[in-house]
Amino acid sequence: MMIKLYEILKKYWGYDNFLPLQKEAIECVLNNRDSVVVLPTGGGKSLCFQSPAMCMEGMAVVVSPLISLMKDQVDTLNNCGVPAAFINSSLSVEEKRVVANAVFQGRIKLLYVAPERLILDSFMTFLKQVQISFFAIDEAHCISMWGHDFRPEYRKLSILKSAFPGTSIHAFTATATKQVQDDIVQGLKLDDPEVIIGSFDRSNLSYSVVPRDDRLKQVCSIIDEHKNESGIIYCIRRADVDELCEELLEKGYKALPYHAGLSDTERKSNQDAFIRDEADIIVATIAFGMGIDKSNIRYIIHAGMPKSLENYQQETGRAGRDGLKADCHLFFSGSDFAIWKFILSNSDADVTNAGLKKLSDMYNFCINSMCRHKAIVTYFGQEFDKESCEACDICLNEVEQLEDSLIVSQKILSCVARLKGRFGAVHVVRVLAGSKEKRILKFGHDKQSTWGLLSHESRKSIRSWIEQLIAQRYLQRTGEYNAISLTEKGWLVFKGEETPNLLKTVEKADKQSRKDAKAWDGVDINLFDILKSLRREKADEQGVPAFVVFSDASLRDMARKRPTTLKGFLKITGVGQKKCATYGKDFVKAISDYCDNNDIETNIQLKRKRRKVNTAKLKAFELFEQDISIPEVAESVDRALSTVSNYLEEYIKNEGIDDPSPWVDAETDEKILEAAEEVGMERLKPIFEFLNGKIDYSLIRISLACFRNRSNV
């Protein structure tokens, strides 16, 4: 079965290997064993149910919560040559009939439906008339009230198990908490499920978390690093979305807003423009994202702090689903904390308390100096054992611990104390920086002993330290005007009984270090751009999003290997037979033309990565299972006799086979064992010599392996 799976993987999806844990997840499906698979976004969950569906008899039913996503998912599959369909309310009666007919005729391997439809009596009756290979429940956390997206209709899926007792159910989610996993098992009434949990580290994402000082400037500097690439900018409130969007438009950036205050039509049209790569930048509240399956989002900016690490992980998780590098930037401020606290205080006490705890954890994450990857993974209860992630502001040293943290803190706190809690952060900064602005002179604050105490530091740094002191509860904001005052804990700093932990941002000359050198290695950027336009053209012709045609990873691989034949084109990652047939000619032509015109080398043979899985061996194992002789197997897998006999020895050991007769005749076997009795079986050479070199080493190995299995030696 596995060999067939590899063939399918290459033929339809154009991949050579599986991502971590995909194989394990697929084995559960093939073995009809219920499972819960927890893999982070971009971990490749879809393939875990899509590829076995292609190897198995009958049709898989995929439960997916969002009608809006089904079409893209099914288009993507059809584009790879996989017969998939969906039934939902967006189809006309006639269209539904066409799908139902195709299902009855056994032409559909994967059928996508929403949970509310699946549990209808009429739909159940319909399904009972066809052969179901298994059920896949996507976004399975929707069943749990503890997840971030509870959907009551998921609860009703509990009837599936009793309605289809012999059919396995496989649940997929990216939500890490144990409680949600338990809810899934119980809610779906899974029968002794295998639980497969992947690492929550998204190693292709790089994180940077810095205090916010000039929002527009900070946001623009990131957008400028990502010209012509897709990105999402998250804000806390609708008003922030509108304001930032306008500021960006004024500066000439084409940014579209998205929040619950817009009309349905406007929201949908903005989202579609983003998905179809017509607009690169979307500025949004957290309302945006759930219906987004776009794989080539290259950056996420949080212009305000999210309310929890769960939210942060989810929102940043939308970047880099194609496995290529993506950047996540968070600009936070003490006022974000205050805003969320205010929003949360409107809920009932339990919710508020739980929310405040998460909010504090989020804040601590911002001001901490622990590797960001490690902090996130640890928060979700997993270990992170790498020394450095090489992909966050802390590990890349963009933020440093301030050496004289205590003294700087004392200077700031004494300035605040002297201002008697009556002035805001901006004023405090001015006093410490030694400003002679009108308001300072008016209040005579230039005469204070703390005036100009930090004049050698930038105002940006002073402001950031004030925010950090607020976050660490040494200072607080109070009253209508957000005046700053000391907390009780703050007074302890004067006595040196508490030392705040202040960070300083280091301006890095070499921003390139974050750039994803490896993924761009050898890629001809101009060709990449040409291929991108061609992809756009093809997508428009078909009326599908660009990533349905090819992922960015595929385009980069094309611009790197530059194949000028269809055979070479098939070697590109993500190019299966159908895509090669549909697009191969045009892409190969674009590549040839470009390389011809610019005298650029084509058909680059990259050193092959060591294949993790040896398909010849797997195929040989399948043949051994049918007792086929070594020479025949060698011919069929195109390997030397000696290699195949090594495979056989491994196979015998793995399977505990004790009868060598399919490969070694009884007489030879007896001679080998007699010889072994004489000269011992530790080494092969004495046996070989004892038999005067008449019996091949490979046969000796096989006889001994079976003998060992018989006698448990």
Q: What residue ranges bind ligand ADP (CB under 6 A)?
A: 15, 17-19, 22, 39, 41-47, 295, 321-323, 551
Give whichever of 10 and 96 is closer to ligand ADP, judged by the CB atom.
10
* CB of residue 46 to ligand ADP, shortest distance in Å: 3
* CB of residue 611 to ligand ADP, shortest distance in Å: 13
Give whichever of 44 and 187 is closer to ligand ADP, judged by the CB atom.
44
Give whichever of 231 and 323 is closer to ligand ADP, judged by the CB atom.
323
Q: For 155-194, b where at least 16 C-beta lie within 10 A, e where not — what string?
A: bbbeebbeebeebbbbbbbbbbbeebbebbbebbebeebb
* CB of residue 554 to ligand ADP, shortest distance in Å: 9
Give whichever of 80 and 362 is closer to ligand ADP, judged by the CB atom.
80
* CB of residue 548 to ligand ADP, shortest distance in Å: 11
Give whichever of 5 and 396 is closer to ligand ADP, judged by the CB atom.
5
* CB of residue 138 to ligand ADP, shortest distance in Å: 8
Give whichever of 46 and 230 is closer to ligand ADP, judged by the CB atom.
46
* CB of residue 315 to ligand ADP, shortest distance in Å: 14
Give whichever of 69 and 462 is closer to ligand ADP, judged by the CB atom.
69
DSSP annotation of 514 reads: G
Question: How do beta strands 483-486 and 205-211 pair?
Answer: unpaired
Give whichever of 319 and 399 is closer to ligand ADP, judged by the CB atom.
319
Give whichever of 202 and 212 is closer to ligand ADP, judged by the CB atom.
202
Give whichever of 18 and 474 is closer to ligand ADP, judged by the CB atom.
18
Residue type, 485: S
| Cα-only R_g, the chain | 31
* CB of residue 7 to ligand ADP, shortest distance in Å: 14
Residue 109 Cα to chain centre, angstroms: 26
* CB of residue 279 to ligand ADP, shortest distance in Å: 21
**Count of beta carbons in the 10 Å neighbourhood of residue 646:** 16
* CB of residue 321 to ligand ADP, shortest distance in Å: 5
Note the helical H segments in 368-404: 372-379
What is the maximum span of the chain, computed from C-alpha positions, in angstroms? 110
* CB of residue 602 to ligand ADP, shortest distance in Å: 24
The long-range contacts involving 151-156, CB below 8 angstroms and separated by at least 24 positions, are 151/65, 151/115, 153/114, 153/115, 153/116, 153/119, 154/65, 154/115, 154/187, 155/187, 156/115, 156/116, 156/119
Three-point CA angle 150, 155, 157, nearest 5°: 130
Question: How do beta strands 230-234 and 194-197 pair?
Answer: unpaired
- DSSP E strand stretches across 260-383: 281-284, 297-302, 326-332
Give whichever of 25 and 366 is closer to ligand ADP, judged by the CB atom.
25
Give whichever of 49 and 688 is closer to ligand ADP, judged by the CB atom.
49
Residue located via tokens 């007896």: 670
* CB of residue 80 to ligand ADP, shortest distance in Å: 9
Distances in whole angstroms, Cα of residue 265 to Cα of each of 89, 256, 286, 290, 425: 18, 13, 18, 17, 41
Give whichever of 2 and 91 is closer to ligand ADP, judged by the CB atom.
2
SS3 content of the chain, % helix, strand, coil (to 5): 50, 10, 40
Nearest to 307 by CA among 349, 352, 268: 352
Distances in whole angstroms, Cα of residue 437 to Cα of each of 413, 441, 444, 446, 447: 21, 6, 11, 9, 13
* Mutual angle of helices 349-367 and 309-316, in 10-degree steps: 60
* Mutual angle of helices 334-344 and 459-471, in 10-degree steps: 30
What tokens were used for 297?
């989002």
Residues 6 or more apart from 259 whose CB is under 8 A from it? 238, 241, 242, 267, 284, 285, 287, 288
* CB of residue 581 to ligand ADP, shortest distance in Å: 19
Instruction: Give dist(CA 657, CA 659) in Å, integer.
Output: 6
Instruction: Give dist(CA 329, CA 317) in Å, integer.
Output: 12
* CB of residue 51 to ligand ADP, shortest distance in Å: 9
